[in-house]
Structure 1
Amino acid sequence: MARITRRKLLKLSVTGAVAAQTGGLAAILASGQAPALAQGTTVHWLRWADFVPASDVLLKGQITQECQKATGITLKVETINANDLQSRITSAIQSGTGPDIILALGNWPQLYAESVADASDLAEDIGKDQGGYYEVSKQVATVGGRWIGVPFTVIGTLIAYRKSWFEEIGLKTFPDTWDGLLDACKKLKAKGRPLGQTAGHTFGDAPNWWYPYLWSWGGKEVEADGKTVALNSKDTIESVKFAVGLWHDACDEGGLAWDDTSNNRAFLSGTICATNNGASIYIEAKRKSDTYLTEKGEPMWKDILHARIPKGPGGQFNLGGSQTDMIMGYSKNQKAAQDFLRWFHSKPVFAEWFASQQGYSDGATRMWEKDKVWDADLVLLPFRDVPPLARLAGYAGPPNRKAAEVGTKYIITDLYAKAIQGMPAEAAVKWAYDEIAKVYV
């Protein structure tokens, strides 16, 4: 008799449960009603503490209540600092107990592929119902054709900048080249208004800046074969040399110690002229228009615009900020977890949450490009178009487990941080090359 592996058994049970649901998944997604098969079950969902606080209030209040009424599931939403998520994931897997669903960032799901439930049927049906997934969402959530999570959103990042400050130095638009940015921000730093970025170990702002920066110069971690480490190149060395000058001449040099909240605070306090970030700075400034004011006493949000990271000799890029919900393999509530995600991703329910984001998140599926949220504020509209332009960590290879490990170790960020702190460019690149090679052996 052929041996049935745990993974195959799990897939068979999930597939059979989904197929047995009255009316089929398409009807559930259309109606927002999940079958009441999980009465009395609690589903524990671990997420980051959202940079749009209103969304967490909505999840823990109204949506939790709606979930109970529609599905019979008691939803427990737990939010923690995003930089603490990976340690919680690791401890949960090692102990075999913890949240039923955990939100993973970027290509983290690749690290945990053997420890999560198969989500193939659910993810495929959501994608078919909602116009298909962005590639950056699909690639991080699949291994060998198997879905290891359900794509949740894509967090777009653009440079938020003070329009009037750039106009004061003669610029009506944000610089679109690195030379232009250096020239502009040198002038602004002399006025006490530097560019602000992090070169620290923090989950979002560091990779969202340094990966696209590397690519814009033509640098890359590995070749398309996903095996040959290619970082030690002339293009990478030139990017490091320029980064050192940019940092010391144009940036807030305290950024070496910043996390993902530091640049938000710096911008809103008026101490930096620009920073690469999600839409949260603008949304917060608009939410507290009486608190965040310009030096002239006017609402700051009216002086904020967004632009793409500058282009270099290699092009202009973004890092795909994919978010994926993983149903954990140790969970005893996998069926209820699937029922909940099926209900939550139905159009009427997800639309409630999506509206609360105000443009901070893009949907993982293309349907949400047409949502009315994008008509509400033209300053946020550029975020809608970020996902199709994005690359993933590990380029030019696939965003697999090895690429995720490089990202988790902050090797690309540390490449630039070491040079900023005095290591010669060639030595910093050689160090990073060797570290990546250890991962890709």
Structure 2
Amino acid sequence: MPRPGRRGAMALGAGLLVGGALPARAITRADVKPPGFPLERGAKLRVLRPAKYIDPDEAIFNANTRRFTEQTGIEVRVDYVNWPDMPVQVAVATNTGQGADVLIGFSADPHLYADKLLEVTDLADYLGAKYGGWYELAETYGRRWKSKSWLGLPMGGTTGPVVYRKSWVKEAGFDGIPNDLGEFLKLCQGLKRIGHPCGFALSHAPGDAPGYANWLLWSHGASLVDEDGKVTLDSPATARALDYAKAMQETMVAGTMAWNGVSNNRAFISGEIGLTQNGVSVYYSLKTAADAAQNAIAADTDHAEMPYGAAKKAPETALTLCAMVPKYTKVPNAAKEYIRFMMEAEQYDPWLTGCLGYWSQPLKAYAQSAVWAFDPKLKVYSDAMDTPFYEGYRGPITPAAGAVGENWVVVDMFARVVTGQQSPAESMREAQRAARRWYKT
């Protein structure tokens, strides 16, 4: 995704901070005391985390880290890694027993390396009690499956709702984004009719294609597996999702099957499409651009939840940052104290607000943050982690679920149907067999 211009993004972030970061006393319980983590003598910390997507993310994270050093005397080195390389870096560190003392990986990582991590239940219980409790997705990714033990500390999540041009949606006959799947299809048909089609990837576009494929699946009541981990792709619900995907494909701009990770952003910014699914970055790229024409597109841009269909909540999940403490670290207390410090209101809220809605909070109290009132168009992102949906839904989070995603099993199931390569029944059976191979290994 394209990044907002540095000056514009930093100015917006600074404006939010000047406007008043959330006062800690407004959201915390004064009677909740932090667990004592006696700091190791001479401790130094190395932190590994994904690189920024917007400039304030890294700038404020570094400022908070310097404050930690000033208060504790502990020297901290933060290494930023490109997103595609982050899973490899976490795997290498945990499997070799060498590397950073704090690993801030993605989503399912705490479950994939559970036996290589120290539990952080004391820290999670303290933060949950102080800041109004954890959202459902944070608990799903942070805790052992169906237990109260925490393996990682979710720090924030980014999601992909509908991003659309208001004037074109209105021209297509709708005042906003309908929550009904049939009406949503009619909207997309209307957008194509007026020359401003939608665009969703079913290619191997990281993030975008899995987000759309999972929405198709979940909005029709289907899932990869059941609660016991049994593969359930070959089902009537999946068949309905495949039929719907085929109808949706007919409404789209040409070329989506060849899209990469930035294609939908470029198509939206250029005016080639009027509706897609994306994070907040495309909106702020437009809003903070030096070009007045792009600012005008930002004014005409809005966001909404993806239609629910058979789901009770928006069938979206969030790519989640999860902080972990590996067993090999020689300074576990310093590592836990660093995570605690970064999650406290004095540090966390400036980071949350400065990131302009890109990351959404895992702790419920931070829903009161100034960032969500700063721009009404950001509100839809505030609930990113208030969701039951996750990669591998509805079963245990295992390496098998990750392998299915990495091998594009669900995405390719839809792609084969919308391109006419296979019938829904044939594609379902092939996906069922492919997923079972991973769940048996």
Q: Same fold by TM (over 0.5)?
A: yes
- Other-structure match for 1:348: 346
- Other-structure match for 1:438: 437
Check 1:311–1:126 CA distance in 2 against 1; reply closer, same or farther (3 A cut).
Answer: closer
1:85 aligns with 2:82: no
Contact 1:122 1:338 in 2 (8 A): yes
How far is the alpha carbon of 1:305 from its aligned partner? 0.8
Give structure 2 stretches of 5+ with no counterpart: 1-29
How far is the alpha carbon of 1:312 from its aligned partner? 2.8
Contact 1:285 1:301 in 2 (8 A): yes
CA distance in 2, matches of 1:316, 1:251: 28
Query: What is the letter of the counterpart of residue 44 of structure 1?
Result: R
Contact 1:280 1:360 in 2 (8 A): yes
How far is the alpha carbon of 1:353 from its aligned partner? 0.7
Contact 1:130 1:367 in 2 (8 A): yes
- Other-structure match for 2:427: 428
1:59 to 55, 61, 69: 61
Superposition pairs of residues 310-321 of structure 1, within 5 angstroms: 310-313=307-310, 317-321=314-318
- Other-structure match for 1:5: none
- Other-structure match for 1:308: 305
How far is the alpha carbon of 1:151 from its aligned partner? 1.6
How far is the alpha carbon of 1:245 from its aligned partner? 3.1
CA distance in 2, matches of 1:53, 1:369: 22
Which has the higher mean CA deviation after the structures are superposed, 321-330 or 245-254? 245-254
How far is the alpha carbon of 1:88 from its aligned partner? 1.7
Aligned identity (percent) is 26
How far is the alpha carbon of 1:384 from its aligned partner? 1.9
1:188 to 186, 191, 194: 191
Secondary structure at the aligned position of 2:293 is classed as coil
Which has the higher mean CA deviation after the structures are superposed, 424-433 or 389-398? 389-398
1:176 aligns with 2:179: yes
Check 1:36–1:69 CA distance in 2 against 1; reply closer, same or farther (3 A cut).
Answer: farther
1:216 aligns with 2:219: yes
How far is the alpha carbon of 1:366 from its aligned partner? 0.6
- Other-structure match for 2:168: 165
How far is the alpha carbon of 1:435 from its aligned partner? 1.8
- Other-structure match for 1:111: 112
Superposition pairs of residues 21-60 of structure 1, within 5 angstroms: 26-27=32-33, 37=39, 41-60=43-62
How far is the alpha carbon of 1:35 from its aligned partner? 7.5
Contact 1:40 1:74 in 2 (8 A): no
2:329 to 328, 331, 351: 331
Query: What is the letter of the counterpart of residue 125 of structure 1?
Result: Y
Query: What is the letter of the counterpart of residue 207 of structure 2?
Result: G
- Deviation per CA, 1:316-336: give whole Å up to 9, x if none: 533331331122233333332
- Deviation per CA, 1:273-332: give whole Å up to 9, x if none: 1221222222232222x33625xxx52221111111123355653333133112223333
How far is the alpha carbon of 1:363 from its aligned partner? 1.1
Secondary structure at the aligned position of 1:283 is classed as helix
Contact 2:47 2:102 in 1 (8 A): yes
Task: Output the TM-score relative to the length of structure 1.
Answer: 0.83
Query: What is the letter of the counterpart of residue 350 of structure 1?
Result: Y
CA distance in 2, matches of 1:203, 1:40: 41
Contact 1:111 1:405 in 2 (8 A): no
Query: What is the letter of the counterpart of residue 199 of structure 2?
Result: G
- Deviation per CA, 1:230-288: give whole Å up to 9, x if none: 210122122112212322432453354422x3323332232221221222222232222
Secondary structure at the aligned position of 2:99 is classed as coil
Contact 1:200 1:255 in 2 (8 A): yes
Runs of at least 4 residues off by over 4 Å:
24-29, 313-316
How far is the alpha carbon of 1:203 from its aligned partner? 4.8
Contact 1:83 1:202 in 2 (8 A): no
Superposition pairs of residues 32-431 of structure 1, within 5 angstroms: 37=39, 41-60=43-62, 62-143=63-144, 144-189=147-192, 193-224=196-227, 226-259=228-261, 261-288=262-289, 290-291=290-291, 293=293, 299-313=296-310, 317-321=314-318, 322-421=320-419, 422-431=421-430
Superposition pairs of residues 6-21 of structure 1, within 5 angstroms: none
Check 1:97–1:131 CA distance in 2 against 1; reply closer, same or farther (3 A cut).
Answer: same
What is the number of residues matched between the two proteins?
Answer: 407
Query: What is the letter of the counterpart of residue 195 of structure 1?
Result: C
Task: Output the TM-score relative to the length of structure 2.
Answer: 0.83
Contact 2:136 2:387 in 1 (8 A): no
CA-atom RMSD, angstroms?
2.7
Query: What is the letter of the counterpart of residue 149 of structure 1?
Result: G
